[in-house]
Amino acid sequence: MRYSVLPHFCMLSSRVHLLPTTVQLVRSLISTSSRSFMDLKALLSSLNDFASLSFAESWDNVGLLVEPSPPHTVNTLFLTNDLTEEVMEEALQKKADLILSYHPPVFRPMKRITWKTWKERLVIKALENRVGIYSPHTAYDAAPQGVNSWLAKGLGACTSRPIHPSKAASCLTEGTHRVEFSVSHTQDLGKVISAVKGIAGVSVTSFSVRTEDEDQTRISLNCTQQALMEVVAFLSQNTQLYQKTEIVSLEKPLLLHTGMGRLCTLEESVSLATMVERIKRHLKLSHVRLALGVGRTLESQVKVVALCAGSGSRVLQGAEADLYLTGEMSHHDILDAASQGINVILCEHSNTERGFLSDLRDMLGAHLEKKINIILSETDRDPLHVV
């Protein structure tokens, strides 16, 4: 009988012994073969199902920012708060196929892609190494299970609601406006309905009503903005055909638990000093910056907290609370809040966001049914340090 001995195998006493390097190789091959891959487009669809990009602010730049030439499959999703050049090198070393950067590294339009600036170099390195870049930013701020909800977990037991609720992407019904009017004479009804049905962007319903001992037909039109102009023009030219006109703007419905910032009401009031320690513990910080509201001390009670991850000036402005919690605010906005007796805690911009990524890794792992590897950056950090 002939034996064929493979490299790295030793034949001793009719037994096969694997050297340590071979064991590692075999384990690596088994691990690699058991991994699943996702097509980039399928992954992007799943990410949008997790938190719709429609939640993002209109000024933001979210979604897929850099796309390798298709087809592109993803085995490793790399999470970071900020995509710096150092973080990019880490992502490449860890064989990332897609980088989810909470902050969009590409925000302002680029007129050229050269080696001159660090953001241009990020794009070049991503494309050269076939790595996609995706950013959710304010979509994750607004999402019910997003950054602001994670930040609120550090306050203690509380109920919360968005400071600025998000609206649905579209109205529950077609169009932007509803026009209703009554037609008294049956002989006019056919002419009116025929005319409005001929206008693009109009849906028509009618129903019978009785007012002041007179039978009438009530016409209800759902119109687009453009169609509304044509409907109004028709009605103004045929005033004898109708009466009792109403025009209503159709509002997009508010989304439950979705929106910018959170207004949190604690189940039990605590001292400001206690709240400071809770926040430091949640964010794993040794120091935060505190502005006492006029007439307040560290022993003042906190019942309501308005918070916004990142930069909170615009979102928190006008919110009625005992404490504002955010990453950064302008000097004058802090003075305005303090003058109203509102305490302000600042933790630096990304320190109020980065810790969310650990929760995100777990949530995405479950949402994607562990089809891909999801790893956190180890070099991503806030650029500011207390010295």
265-309 per-position pLDDT tens digit: 999 999 999 999 999 999 999 999 999 999 999 999 999 999 999
3-state helix, strand, coil in the chain (%, to 5): 35, 30, 35
Q: What's the rounded mean pLDDT across residues 106-127?
A: 97
User: Hey, what's the torsion of the CAs at 72, 354, 360, 167, to 10 degrees?
Assistant: -90
Query: What confidence tier does 170 reach under pLDDT thresholds 50, 70, 90?
Result: low
C-alpha span between 314 and 274 (Å, rounded): 27
C-alpha span between 66 and 107 (Å, rounded): 12
Which residue would you say has higher pLDDT here, 69 or 237? 69
Q: Comparing 29-43, 88-102, 114-128, 217-231, which segment has the lowest mean pLDDT?
A: 29-43
Query: What confidence tier does 6 reach under pLDDT thresholds 50, 70, 90?
Result: very low
pLDDT exceeding 90 applies to what percent of the chain?
70
Which residue would you say has higher pLDDT here, 60 or 8? 60
Query: What confidence tier does 163 reach under pLDDT thresholds 50, 70, 90?
Result: very high
Q: What's the rounded mean pLDDT across residues 196-222?
A: 84
Q: Comparing 27-31, 177-181, 371-375, which segment has the lowest mean pLDDT?
A: 27-31
Residue 34 has pLDDT above 90, yes or no: no
Q: What is the per-residue pLDDT across 334-374, written as a single tens digit (0 to 9) for each?
A: 999 999 999 999 999 999 999 999 999 999 999 999 999 99
Which residue would you say has higher pLDDT here, 210 or 100? 100
pLDDT at 5: 38
Q: How many CB atoms lie within 10 A of CB 267?
A: 9
In the numeric block, the tokens 């970071």 are attached to 80
Query: What confidence tier does 377 reach under pLDDT thresholds 50, 70, 90?
Result: very high
Token digits for 209? 């009503």
Q: What's the rounded mean pLDDT across residues 203-226?
A: 83
Query: What confidence tier does 190 reach under pLDDT thresholds 50, 70, 90?
Result: confident
Q: What's the rounded mean pLDDT across residues 323-336?
A: 98
